[in-house]
Amino acid sequence: MAVSVAGIALQNPVLCASGTFGYGVELEPLVRLDRLGGLVGKTVTAEPRRGNAPPRTFETPAGMLNSIGLENPGIESYCEEILPRLRGRAFRVFANVAGEDARSFARLVSRLDRAGGVDGIELNLSCPNVAGGLDFSTDARLAREVVAACRAETRVPLFAKLTPNVTDPAPIAVAAREGGADGLTCVNTVLGMAVDWRRRASRLSARHAGLSGPAIRPIALRVVDQVRRAVGGPILAAGGIATAEDALEFLVAGASAVQVGTASFVEITAPERVAADLPALLASAGVGDVNDLIGTLPKD
Amino acid sequence: MALTALRPEKVLLLECDVLDSREKAPGCRLLRLDLPEMAPRIEAGQFLHIRPAGVLTPYLRRPFSVYDVPASPRGAVDLLFTVIGSGTYALGSLRPGTRASVLGPLGRPFRFASDGAVSVLVAGGIGVAPFPDLAKKLIAAGSVPAKDIRAVLGARSRSLVFCREDFAALGVPCEVGTDDGSEGFHGNAVQLTARVLEGLRGQPVRIYGCGPEPMLRALQKLCVERKISGQLSIDRRMACGLGICRSCVVRVKDPAGPDWHFETVCREGPVFDTETLLW
C-alpha cells in the first residue's frame, strides 16, 4: 500500500485531514495512529487563538457547516509540546499553518523547519473562517507570493491547500506550483450558510461557514480532476472521503493520497478503517499495487 | 485548549443491538441498547454519542445522557430523549433488531461526596434524564441516603414531567412544578428550588442542575447568591464528542486571574461548576 508523495514515503495513501483529528496524539489509544499513512495537524497560527464564538457548527444533509475560526494553541506550543510526541512513528507528520500574510506564513514555516520532525507542511491558504482567510487561494498572485515566501524558508515539502470557492481552480494551482509548492491539497471547505428563519438569524455566529462531509465529495473530485489536468500531481485529495471506495475514486482521478476529514467526527476510527479496507478492495478488482491505480482516469 | 481530561482508554466505539424502544411519555422515547462492555464504565452524568448504524443521514451523532444502567438485563443501557428534529426522530425510530453506533462513555461525570450535604437534583423537562442514575449511584455508593436527596422537576406542563416514578421507586422525595400550574407548584424549576431550599434551611446543600440554558443560568444565579456549590450539566450542539472538532465550546473562568478560556462540553463537560461557568 506504500505510496510516495512529493518524495515523502507513506506506508499507505490515507491521511487525516487538518482540523478533523486534533493533533492525533490526544486520541490514542482510541485511535491507532500507526495504521495511518500520515497525520495532518489542525491549523497552527503564530499566536494561540481562541477561535470564533459559538455556535460554530451546524449539521446539513450528509455534511456539516463549521466556523471554528482556527482555534489552536499557537506555533510555539505546537513545536514544543506536540511535535516531540509525534516523532519516530510509522505515520508521516504533516503540519498545517495559516498566516495573515506572506511574511507571517514564512515565519511559521521557518519555525517548523527549525523544530524538525515535520515531513510535510500544508499551507492553509483557504480557511474561510478568519477575516481575509480566503484571499490567498482565490487570487493567483497572492497564492504564488505566499508559497514563494515559504519556499525560501525550508526544503521540507510544501503543499498548498486550495479552496473550491473559485470559478476555476487551475490558475491558482499553477501559481502555487510556480511559487514552489511540491504538491496541492484539494479541497478546503465549500462556503455555505444556514439560517434559522424563526429567529431571523444565521445558525452560526459567523454568517458564512465551511461545508464539509460527503455532500461536497463530487465537488472535491471535480477540483482534483481540474487541478490534475492543469498541473498534474502530486495531489492530496480531501472532501467528503469516508470509505475506501471513496478513496479509490480520488486515486483514480489523480490524487496520490487522500485525507479523511469530517468522517472522523462521525467515526473517529474512519481514517484507519479506510486504510485497512484498501487492500481487500483493491484485490477484489485485481489490483496488486495501489500505485497502478493512481491517475488511471483518462485525462479526456 | 487543554489536551487533558479525556481518557481515551476508557472510551469505546462500537455497534450494538437495539433491545427496546418505547414511548415513556408523549414525545419522550426510551431507547435500550445492548452494551455489556460499556455499561460498567459509565459514571453518573456521562453521555453516549449515538447514531443509527450504516446510514448517511443523520450524519452526525447525537449526545444523550445515560438515564439508567439497569441491573437486568445485564449490559443494557437506557437513554431517554425527546424527539425534536430529524436526528432524534431517526433515533426514536430505531427498533429491536436494528443496530446503533455508540461512542462512549464520554464527558466528565457528576462529582459527589459523603459529607452530609443534601443533594438537590434540579431538572427542567427532559433535563431530568441523568438524574435517576445519579440518585441511584449516590445511594448505592453509600454517599447519600435517599432521604438526603431531593428531586425538583420543572416542566412546561403536566404531560412533560418525566421520571417521577423513578424517584419514588428509589425513595427520593420529589417536588414537581409546572409553568402552567397543571401539576404541583405553579412556577418554574428554579422558583421551586428556592422554595425547597427554604425547607432545608440550616443544612448544607449541593445542587445538581440539568435542563434548558435559561433555566440553568437562573439556577447558577441562585447558587451564587446563596453561596451553594452547584454542578450544571449542559447541552450544546456537538460533532465529534471527543474535544476534537471544537464545536461545543463554552467560556470558563481561568483558574487564576480575571480572564476566561473555552472548554468543550463534550470533553471538559458536560458537567461544569456554577462558580466557573461563564457560558
| Domains defined for chain A, CATH in brackets | 3-55+70-190+211-292 (3.20.20.70)
Which residues in chain A have their CB less than 8 angstroms from residue B87's CB? 59
Task: List Cα–Cα distances, A85 to A27, A214, B120, in angstroms.
Answer: 12, 32, 44
Nearest CB partner across the interface for A27, out of B236, B242, B248:
B242
Question: Which amino acid type is present at position A159?
Answer: F
Chain centroid to CA B257: 30
Three-state SS string over B85-105 comes to CHHHHHHHCCCECEEEEEEEE
Strand arrangement, sheet containing B205-210: B185-186, B174-178, B149-155, B118-124, B205-210, B229-233, B271-273
Nearest Cβ partner of A59 from B60, B244, B246? Answer: B60
Question: A266, A267, A272, A273: which to substitute to probe chain B, counting the most B Cβ within 10 Å?
Answer: A266
Count the residues in chain A: 300
Q: What is the per-residue pLDDT for A130? A: 66
Does any CB of chain B come closer than 8 Å to the CB of residue A194?
Answer: no
Cα nearest neighbour of B50 on chain A: A266
Q: What is the DSSP string of A133-193?
A: TTHHHH-HHHHHHHHHHHHTT--S-EEEEEPS-SS-SHHHHHHHHHTT-SEEEE--PEEE-
Give the rounded distance of the alpha carbon of B35 from its chain centre.
19
Question: How many CB pairs (< 8 A) connect A and B?
Answer: 98
Mean pLDDT of chain A: 96
For residue A298, the distance in angstroms to the closest alpha carbon of chain B comes to 30
Q: How far apart are CA A244 and CA A276, in angstroms?
A: 8
Whether the CB-CB separation of A121 and A95 falls below 8 Å is answered with: yes
Pairing of strands A257-260, A235-238: parallel
Q: pLDDT tens track of chain B, all 279 residues?
A: 344 446 778 899 999 999 999 999 888 999 999 999 999 999 999 999 999 998 888 899 999 999 999 999 999 999 999 999 999 999 999 999 999 999 999 999 999 888 889 999 999 999 999 999 999 999 998 878 999 999 999 999 999 999 999 999 999 999 999 999 999 999 999 999 999 999 998 899 999 999 999 999 999 999 999 999 999 999 999 999 999 999 999 999 998 888 999 999 999 999 999 999 999
Phi-psi map region of B116: left, alpha, beta (phi>0 left; psi -120 to 50 alpha): left
pLDDT at res. A150: 98
Amino acid code (one letter) for B114: S
Residue type, B211: G
CB contact under 8 A, B59 and A62: yes
Query: For residue A178, what are the β-bridge partners?
Result: none
Measured CA distances, A247 to A63, A117, A203, A290, A293 (Å) = 17, 27, 31, 11, 11
Is A217 touching B (CB cutoff 8 A)?
no
Query: Which tens digits make up the pLDDT trace of A63-110?
Result: 999 999 999 999 999 999 999 999 999 999 999 999 999 999 999 999
> Could you give the dihedral angle defined by the CA atoms of residues B218, B219, B221 and B224, in that order, rounded to the nearest 10 degrees?
180
Domains of chain B: 8-106 (2.40.30.10), 118-224 (3.40.50.80)
Residues of B near A (CB-CB distance < 8 A)?
A: 1, 3, 6, 8-9, 11, 13, 51, 56-61, 87, 101, 103, 236-240, 242-250, 261-262
Q: Decide: B27 and B66 in contact? Cβ < 8 Å.
A: no
CB atoms within 10 A of CB A179: 23
Q: Is B23 helix (H, G, I), strand (E, B) or coil?
A: strand
User: Could you report the average pLDDT of every consecutive run of 10 residues in chain A (300 residues)?
Assistant: 97 98 94 97 96 96 95 98 96 97 96 98 83 76 96 98 96 98 97 97 94 98 98 96 98 98 97 98 96 95
> What is the predicted ipTM?
0.94
Amino acid at A180: G
Q: What confidence score (pLDDT) does residue B160 get?
A: 94
Examine the residue annotation and report whether A16 is marked as an active-site residue of this protein.
no
Instruction: Please indicate whether, in this complex, the C-beta atoms of B59 and A63 are within 8 angstroms of each other.
Output: yes
DSSP reduced 3-state for A109: helix
**Nearest by Cα to B14 from B42, B30, B44, B36:** B36
Catalytic residue chosen out of the listed positions A79, A127, A150, A186: A127
Query: Which residue in B6, B57, B262 is closest to A71 by CB distance?
Result: B262
End-to-end CA distance of chain A: 27
Confidence (pLDDT) at B1: 39
Distance CA A135, CA B65 (A): 43
Residue that the C-alpha cell 457528576 belongs to: B110
Nearest residue to B53 (alpha-carbon basis) of B34, B67, B68, B70: B34
- Position A161 scores a pLDDT of 97
Q: Give the integer Cα–Cα distance in Å for A171 and A169.
A: 6
pLDDT digits (tens, 9 = 90+) for B77-109: 999 999 999 999 999 999 999 999 999 999 999
Nearest-angstrom CA–CA distance, B276 and B161: 30
